[in-house]
Chains A and B, each alone.
Chain A
Amino acid sequence: MKSRQDLERLKEKTLEEIRLRMASGAPRVVVGMGTCGIAAGARETLLAIMDELKKRRRTDVTISETGCVGLCAKEPLVEVTLPGQPTVVYGNVDPSKARRIVLDHLINGQPVTEWAVNVIPSPKEKEK
């Protein structure tokens, strides 16, 4: 941190992060972008998700990434969370699988169970 410009940039970055957190009520898709994910094709998977969402005018979905979660053999990994529902983690998601996950799960609300490698209960379910 050296100058006023650095402070301005930090402020802007923090505001963006707050804005994204505020939007956490929106559907959320997270793609594994560690070295293992990138080498396995996560970029193409993410581009396919973005393309499919844009085609279907679903610009309310929060798109994010995460690092290696230790399940490298199943990369590219994609997590999908709909508000109030469990998070479904999909494994070995190539672009064509990604397009179907967008359509079936994100848009029609039906998880593609045969590709799921893990299901994480929603915070409300954990409280029960």
Chain B
Amino acid sequence: MTEISLHLLDVLENSAKAGASRVRVFLGEDGEGENLILEVEDDGRGMSPDEASRALDPFFTTTPGKKVGLGLALLRSTAEAAGGSVRVRSVPGNGTVVTATFRLRSVDRPPLGDIPGTLQTFVMCHPGIELDFTWKTRKGSFHANTRQQIPPGDRGSLDAVVAFAEKLSAGMKQAGFEPDKGGFDVEIKTRS
């Protein structure tokens, strides 16, 4: 996966498969501005302690008939290459929290990519799931919520979802979102 936004989409799809009705996404920097944090919390069916402990194993999946589950394993690989890690916390019946950290200036940290497009596809395909998104860096912050911003009758409507994504894109841009800059670009910019 070439962008962090693709990992985000993959984790969001896991939440949808887990039967979530609400998903909270946090994307931003930690207090010191050293790390990029991606956190996805859902209220889906959750996992047993055994399943949660094996969730990052590429040869473990809960999908019947399949032998591999690569999504979280790929996320771990990207995070660890960028000096970070992935943590999975889950309570059966209550939901799951996936937290990935990446060193912001690691040259192996991929760019964020098309976050608004990622959320647009998720909202379009899962109109029944409430998405709560927060973007927070030292340059600015932005918050969006599908339940608050898309009227119930318009959820799943193409026009409403595109309008939501356009607001999201504009709001994030205003709050300092730079989709194409990976750790390498940040490092070079800091040095020069």
Contact = CB atoms under 8 A, between A and B. Distances in A.
- 7 closest cross-chain pairs (CB), A and B: A13-B128, A16-B128, A65-B125, A9-B21, A35-B71, A13-B21, A59-B158
A46 interface: yes
B124 A46 contact: yes
B60 to A, nearest CB: 14
Interface string B42-72: 0100000000000000000001001000110
Nearest to B70: A35
A54 interface: yes
Interface of A: 1-2, 6, 9-10, 12-17, 19-20, 31, 33-36, 38-39, 43-44, 46-47, 50, 53-54, 59, 61, 63-65, 67-68
B158 A38 contact: no
Given A43-B114, A47-B120, A16 B155 contact: yes
Nearest to B3: A43
B22 interface: yes
A115 to B, nearest CB: 21
Contacts of B10: 35, 38
B156 A19 contact: yes
Given A16-B127, A65-B125, A43 B9 contact: yes
Given A50-B120, A54-B159, A63-B124, A39 B129 contact: no
A21 to B, nearest CB: 11
A12 B128 contact: yes
Nearest to B118: A43
30 contacts: A2-B94, A9-B21, A9-B130, A13-B128, A14-B128, A16-B155, A17-B128, A19-B156, A33-B9, A35-B71, A38-B1, A38-B9, A38-B10, A38-B13, A39-B1, A39-B6, A39-B74, A43-B117, A43-B121, A44-B117, A46-B124, A50-B120, A50-B158, A53-B158, A54-B159, A59-B157, A63-B124, A63-B125, A65-B121, A67-B63
A54 B120 CA distance: 14
